[in-house]
Amino acid sequence: MTAEKVITTTEKYAIPGLTNVLYLDMTDRSYSIVDRRDLYEKYLGGSGVAVNLMLEEYKEGTGPLDPEMPVILSTGPLSGVYPTCTKTVALFRSPLNGELGESYAGGHLAMSMRFAGCETIVIKGASKYPLYVSVHNDKVRFRDASSIWNLSSTIDVGKIIRDVEPGAGRRSIIRIGPAGEKGVKYASVNVDTYRHFGRLGLGAVFGAKKLKAIVISGDQEIRSPDHTAYKKQYKKLYDTIVKTGLMEKYHNLGTSENVLVLNELRGLPTRNLQGTSFEGAETISGEHFADNYLIRRVSCAGCPIGCIHVAMLKRPFSKAHEYETLNISYDFELIYALGSNLGVEDPKAVLELIDACEKTGVDIISMGVVLAWATEMLQKKKISTEETLGLELNWGDAAAYLRAIELVVRAPNEFYAALGKGVVYASKKYGGEEFAIHLGGLEIPGYHTGLGNILGLTMGVRHSHLDNAGYSADQKAFNKEMSDEEIIDMLIKEDDLRCMLNSLTICLFARNVYTYENVIEALAAIGIRKTEEELKELGRDTLKKKYELKKKFGFSFENLALPKRFFETASTTGMLEEERVKKALELYRKKRGL
């Protein structure tokens, strides 16, 4: 292990702007901490800093799983400072669709990185054998992880590292499971058991680098140059979050409140989006889970809300009243992916399916869509049980799906290996592209609300429902007529805002709390002066640079695929025509100047 170019924070308790970037090289197990104030001053942090680092680091032609392809984890100046600023962004090249991979996770990670004094981490290279990295303040170690490689559960990885590493209490442990090790293209990285870098396959990138886990803790002191202003601002934000109705949904049922809402609006993808309402919605609703299975709620570090809903599943394993209990966190997207979209209406079965995915470490949305596609392929006799090694897949048959999840990860034949490469790959190989429900090469989240949603997921730089206002634009259009242009304008405005918020890595659930005005005040109270125009420009600039990266990675407007299924099933706002979507895409592109 060598240390080079070490520059540590010069001011005690520094705050205005951030300072360091920690570079890790997996190939020769070396690290360096470099002063990159220049980046933080211009781009604040989070996605703004990460995008610019990616442009610096990316060498033309490097594939997603090549050793030289960097992974960038970044937090922002508000992380660990204000309530609900709890996210860390991961930027990478997605092994699933080859494009820009961007994923956000909560848990203890952002606070741990901040208090360790490394607000951004760049990981390059690949090891010959499994390693994990420990970061405790400025102490960095690469440790042999061979003995925890091949463990069957991501949960166990956490348990073992907890015992061999210091910093107990508030540290963060991020790790991959079997899916990441074996290179499932939508493998996730588990963050502190209940949160994830879920979408677009960061787990497979970790696996390719032979990076099993990162544990990080820190207890550096930080201080605002104007403590009175900081205290006032903190209190204001805290009160807005805790004592007003702005975040009511997340205080209460959490995201799973959406199950009944979307079902009612006929926007809940069901049985591979053959329908948009599910007759079993009641038993997999947020209300039903809360009343029957919810045992506790927990928070990401520094968030007074506690939107992580943990259910207890009590399962008998003998006739002599013997039980095992599993604690499983659930959210709307998981219930859609493994519930309505697979026709599973038994909440216990949904929990068991979530648990299986958690242990193996895959993105649950992608896994659910892949299994739904495979089920329809079997039903339409486009494949037979020869491909599935005798396994019948039928809507609602959770036992079969449980086995299928295991088989996708173990990949015993070509078919299951194809399923592990995502629905685009599998449908190109076996057919059924018209009902492979993806947009931009990413399996869709749980909304079929109309034009806004499809546009947002296709054009949104992260292909994520939370990074664009698509489905909320549709909801608005459902309540009050909106022209397509108005929908597009709303998307563009929200895109810029959310790009800026992602540079501050606030949780987007709190997006209505962190208005431009509040962000400006919050930054000012810790000594960072920005105007609204500067923040808006930062949002636009970040988005532009993301498109620059996307294009380098092979994105083109001409190759956008719009599977037929989206035009065969009525959405919340009615039937969509392909022509209308294409026109809207053109208009979006024109308005954006892309």
The minimum distance between CB 233 and other proteins, in angstroms, equals 9
The minimum distance between CB 2 and other proteins, in angstroms, equals 29
Contact string 127-156 vs other proteins (x = CB under 8 A): ----------------------------x-
Q: Does 429 bind other proteins (CB under 8 A)?
A: no
The piece of 54-62, 157-165, 253-261, 366-374 that touches other proteins (CB under 8 A) is 157-165
User: Quick one: 65 or 310, whose CB is closer to other proteins?
Assistant: 310
User: Quick one: 204 or 215, whose CB is closer to other proteins?
Assistant: 215
Strand 308-318 to 322-330 pairing:
antiparallel
The minimum distance between CB 242 and other proteins, in angstroms, equals 5
- Chosen residue from 36, 93, 108, 359 binding other proteins by CB under 8 A: 108
Please choose, from the candidates 53, 88, 333, the residue with its C-alpha nearest in 3D space to the C-alpha of residue 202.
Answer: 88
Distance between start and end Cα atoms, the chain: 45
Tell me the C-alpha to C-alpha distance, in Å, between residue 258 and each of 261, 263, 537. Answer: 5, 8, 33
Q: Does 291 bind other proteins (CB under 8 A)?
A: no
d(Cα 68, Cα 123) in Å, to the nearest integer?
A: 9
- Chosen residue from 6, 13, 152, 164 binding other proteins by CB under 8 A: 13
User: Quick one: 242 or 594, whose CB is closer to other proteins?
Assistant: 242
The piece of 144-152, 186-194, 418-426, 580-588 that touches other proteins (CB under 8 A) is 186-194
In sequence order, what are the residues at sequence separation of 6 or more whose Cβ sits closer than 8 angstroms to the Cβ of residue 371?
A: 342, 393, 401, 404, 405, 408, 419
User: Quick one: 53 or 328, whose CB is closer to other proteins?
Assistant: 328
User: Quick one: 50 or 81, whose CB is closer to other proteins?
Assistant: 81
- Chosen residue from 45, 76, 80, 286 binding other proteins by CB under 8 A: 80
Helix and strand element counts for the chain (H, E): 23, 18
User: Quick one: 159 or 493, whose CB is closer to other proteins?
Assistant: 159
Residue count, binding to other proteins (CB under 8 A): 56
In DSSP notation, 430-494 reads HS-GGG--EETTEE--S----HHHHHHHHHSTT--TTTS-HHHHHHHHHHS---HHHHHHHHHHH
Q: Does 245 bind other proteins (CB under 8 A)?
A: yes
Q: Which two tokens stand for residue 485?
A: 């242009």
d(Cα 116, Cα 119) in Å, to the nearest integer?
A: 8
User: Quick one: 477 or 504, whose CB is closer to other proteins?
Assistant: 504
Please choose, from the candidates 312, 371, 291, 307, the residue with its C-alpha nearest in 3D space to the C-alpha of residue 337.
Answer: 371
Q: Which two tokens stand for residue 334?
A: 């998981």
- Chosen residue from 40, 132, 206, 230 binding other proteins by CB under 8 A: 230
Phi, psi at residue 427, to the nearest 5°?
-75, -25
Q: Does 361 bind other proteins (CB under 8 A)?
A: no
Give the number of other CB atoms < 10 A from CB of residue 313: 20
The minimum distance between CB 110 and other proteins, in angstroms, equals 12
User: What's the gap between Cα 540 and its chain centre?
Assistant: 22
449: left (phi over 0), alpha (psi -120 to 50) or beta: alpha
- Chosen residue from 160, 261, 298, 524 binding other proteins by CB under 8 A: 298
- Chosen residue from 29, 251, 428, 592 binding other proteins by CB under 8 A: 251
Q: In this structure, is the dihedral angle defined by the CA atoms of residues 245, 247, 252 and 255, taken in order, positive or negative?
A: positive
DSSP single-letter state for residue 146: G
- Chosen residue from 169, 324, 481, 556 binding other proteins by CB under 8 A: 169
User: Quick one: 188 or 571, whose CB is closer to other proteins?
Assistant: 188
Q: Does 589 bind other proteins (CB under 8 A)?
A: no
Q: Which helix (H) or strand (E) holds 209?
A: none
Q: Does 81 bind other proteins (CB under 8 A)?
A: yes
Q: Does 248 bind other proteins (CB under 8 A)?
A: yes
Site for other proteins in 512-541 (CB under 8 A): 526
Q: Angle 80-86-89 (CA atoms, 0-180°, nearest 5)?
A: 115
Q: Does 15 bind other proteins (CB under 8 A)?
A: yes
Q: Does 315 bind other proteins (CB under 8 A)?
A: no
User: Quick one: 171 or 421, whose CB is closer to other proteins?
Assistant: 171
Q: Does 168 bind other proteins (CB under 8 A)?
A: yes
Helix (H, G, I), strand (E, B) or coil at 324: strand
Q: Does 305 bind other proteins (CB under 8 A)?
A: yes
User: Quick one: 243 or 319, whose CB is closer to other proteins?
Assistant: 243
The minimum distance between CB 281 and other proteins, in angstroms, equals 26
Strand ranges across the sheet with 211-217: 139-144, 131-136, 211-217, 172-175, 189-191, 195-197
Residue with token string 């634009």 = 473
The minimum distance between CB 570 and other proteins, in angstroms, equals 36
Give the number of other CB atoms < 10 A from CB of residue 134: 21
User: Quick one: 252 or 512, whose CB is closer to other proteins?
Assistant: 252
Residue with token string 């896994």 = 367
Q: Does 591 bind other proteins (CB under 8 A)?
A: no
- Chosen residue from 304, 316, 554, 574 binding other proteins by CB under 8 A: 304
Strand partners, 172: 216
- Chosen residue from 4, 8, 11, 235 binding other proteins by CB under 8 A: 235
> Which residues of the shown chain bind other proteins in the complex (CB under 8 A)?
13, 15, 80-81, 83, 107-108, 111, 115, 155, 158-159, 162, 168-170, 173, 192-194, 219-224, 227, 230-232, 234-236, 238-239, 242-245, 248, 251-252, 296-299, 301-306, 308, 310, 327, 526
